Structures are given as structure tokens and as C-alpha cells.
Amino acid sequence: MSFPSNLLSRTIASPRATRFFFDRVVPLYRWLTNNPMWLGSLQEMSRHFPPSTSQLRLLDVGCGHGNSTRQFLELRSDVEAFGIDFSAGMLTTAKRMTEGSPQDRVHWLQGDITRLPMPDNSIDAITGHSVYYMLADQAGFLGECLRVLRPGGRLILLDPAQRNFPLDVLRTQHAIRVKLAVLSWHTVSLMHQRFTLEEMARRLEAAGFARVLSENAVEGYGVLSRGEKPYAEDQSTIERVQQIANTEATTSDLTSIPAINVPEITRGRNLFLLVKQTPNKPAWALKPDESIRWDAATMRSSSGVRCLLAFTSLPKAVEFMQSAVLANHLAGINKVAKFEKSVAPSWVIDMLLNPTLAALNAAGWQDQQEMFTVDPAAAVTGDE
């Protein structure tokens, strides 16, 4: 490339020019991206979120006017989102469009995403739709993502694919808005960068991400790439589960809660119970006259009230089960069962949420083998 065009492309790609541009195109950008293809690509990205604790702390980098952030909030009720962008114009619109929505689920931050204003190991997932490709300091950005993600946390990016003029999208039945969005993406990426699947995977691996994959998105116009922050090599599986579980509060005063109140007072979508399944075999191995029965672990509080042991995340439940089994409690429990928390009011029983084994032992917990029968048909079948 000759010197002038090099200088031109560096000027166009500079953070100042990018911010200047996005400050001025908000209404047009908003109109263009409010189309089914764009929204579908955000759904694709959300498939790569990591298995969450009760709340998934999501950082949407280059959030623009918040279209991407709002979609992620809609797609997952367990998301607490931070949207960050350096364009004041974009953020003003983002804030306006979320006025009146629950305050604790979305936070807007103005800043440069190559210097993230977040503590180390504090975020479960980072999403960047159409932003990595325009960054002047891409290596700095990837390094920052590794710093703020917790081990096991994921970076999920969507960028323009290396390909020819999108003639086919002009010929297809897509709405005019889709055609214009793809054309604009193609034109803007001419001034920045486009990637092959291999290139994006190589970049994430070189930066230090693990379990990297890249796949076609946006009907071949985009590359969706994903990487995971590795765990420390000497950590056992039990230590990893504990590390994730420790990000959520436990209950040490063992206050019981009526199941009917649980959906209101807990965050996240799900509840996890410790269950004894009989017969202990997979559904396909059942004989015609057999059916599965689930009995969930309970304990009696000091005032004699029987309580179901319930956990707001899979890591919390697994951590409790591991320590209980090692201490010879919970004989017969062979499963962690997952339910939508909206099912809880149908269980007429009090609950202990996220208890620790130490707290139960201190309260004089014995294995009373009293169980509470729950309906397996009401459970969520596993995605984690």
C-alpha cells in the first residue's frame, strides 16, 4: 500500500475519527440495525454465553445506541449488562431507550474499550458486535478482555467476513433495510478490516484464549468468533467449580423463605435442587412399567419447619453437593435438578437458598432423610 493510502486508512481508523463518525450517525445507524438479520446475529452470539451463575455479568463493548445490549437483556433474564462506548451521541440514545427499565440490569459507561474500567476477573461474558474490526489497538483490547473476564468467562465477537461485494444479498428477497445494512457494513469494513474464520481463530488463540472457535454468521457476511479465558493449569475441577460458586452469596443465618416468594427475591432464571432419582437410570433404560421419581433433599429448621435445599446456580449446587458427599451427608442424592424459578410457588414448602454446609452443621443439621417429592416433568432439561 502506498504512503498516502496508508495515512488515509490510519486516519479513518483512528479512535478520534471513529468517535466523530458515530456521534453523527445515530438515527441512521439505529434505523439500519433494527432489522431481523442483525437481531438474529445477536441471538447467535448469545448461544455462546458461558453456563452462568445465578446472574450473568455481561459487558457489551462498543454498545453503540444499545441495540445489542438491549437484545441480550431480552434474550436472557439472568443478564446484568454493562454497555460501554466512547461515543456520547450513541450513549445518550442508549440511556433514553432504557429509561424506566429495571435499573439494576443495565449500566451505561462512556470509555475506551482498549482500557476497560472494570476490575480483574469480574465479568462472565464480553460481547462485541461490529467493533473489533475497527479498533486501532486490537491487541490491547484482547489483553483487556482477558484481564476483566473471570476464568471460564467468554469473549464473543462478530465482525465482517472477508468476501466479495454482497451482490447476492441485493438479489434476494430481503427487506431494503437488510440490504442497506449489509452494504453499509461492507463499505465501512473496506476502510477497516475483514476476516476469515482462520484469521479470527488464530488471533484469539495468539492472545491467550482457550476453547476458541469461529463460525460463519449473518448469512456468510460475518464471522462469529469465541474464546474462553483459561483456568489456572494447576486447578482441579472442584476448585474451578468453587471459584465460580464463590462469586455468589451464601446463606449463613439459615432464614427460610416461603417458596411462593422465591421468584421475586432471587436473581437469575433457575433454581437447582439436590435430588434422589429412582430408579437411578436414564430415561431410555426404563422398562414400560417404570417411571422416574424425584425426591429432593430437605432439612428441618430449628423451629421444626421443613425446608427444601435450593440453589440459585449450578456451581453453587455442585459445590454444596461435593462438600456434603465428602462429609458423608446426603446419602442417595444422585442428581442436581434444574427448574425455572417460576415453578417454585407450586412447591408448598419453605426453602433455604444457597446454604453452606458449615452453616447447616452449625445449626445441628442431621441427615433426616426427609425428602420432598418434585415432578421431573416440571424440570428444565439440561443445557449446561
Interface with ligand SAM by CB under 6 A: which residues?
15, 18-19, 22, 33, 62-64, 67-68, 85-87, 90, 112-114, 129-131, 134-135
Q: How far is CA 263 from the centre of its chain?
A: 20
Q: How far is the CB of 110 from ligand SAM (least distance, A)?
A: 8
Q: How far is the CB of 181 from ligand SAM (least distance, A)?
A: 10
Cα–Cα distance, 374 to 273 (Å, whole number): 10
Q: How far is the CB of 128 from ligand SAM (least distance, A)?
A: 7
Nearest to ligand SAM of 53, 93 (CB atom)? 93
Nearest to ligand SAM of 26, 212 (CB atom)? 26
Identity of residue 152? G
Nearest to ligand SAM of 64, 315 (CB atom)? 64
Q: How far is the CB of 21 from ligand SAM (least distance, A)?
A: 8
Cα–Cα distance, 343 to 96 (Å, whole number): 34
Cα–Cα distance, 353 to 264 (Å, whole number): 13
Yes or no: say if 133 and 193 are a contact pair by the CB < 8 Å rule. yes
Identity of residue 322? Q
Nearest to ligand SAM of 18, 312 (CB atom)? 18
Nearest to ligand SAM of 71, 313 (CB atom)? 71
Q: How far is CA 117 from the centre of its chain?
A: 19
Nearest to ligand SAM of 25, 305 (CB atom)? 25
Yes or no: say if 105 and 37 are a contact pair by the CB < 8 Å rule. no
Cell of residue 127, nine digits: 460481547
H helix and E strand count, the chain? 14, 14
Q: How far is the CB of 89 from ligand SAM (least distance, A)?
A: 9
Q: Which of 115, 4, 13, 127 is nearest to 61 (CA)?
A: 127
Q: How far is the CB of 109 from ligand SAM (least distance, A)?
A: 10
**SS3 (DSSP) at 284:** helix
For residue 300, the surrounding DSSP H or E stretch is strand 293-300
Q: How far is the CB of 275 from ligand SAM (least distance, A)?
A: 41
Rg (CA), the chain: 24
Cell of residue 349, nine digits: 414448602
Q: How far is the CB of 107 from ligand SAM (least distance, A)?
A: 15
Nearest to ligand SAM of 131, 333 (CB atom)? 131
Cα–Cα distance, 372 to 363 (Å, whole number): 20
Nearest to ligand SAM of 226, 338 (CB atom)? 226
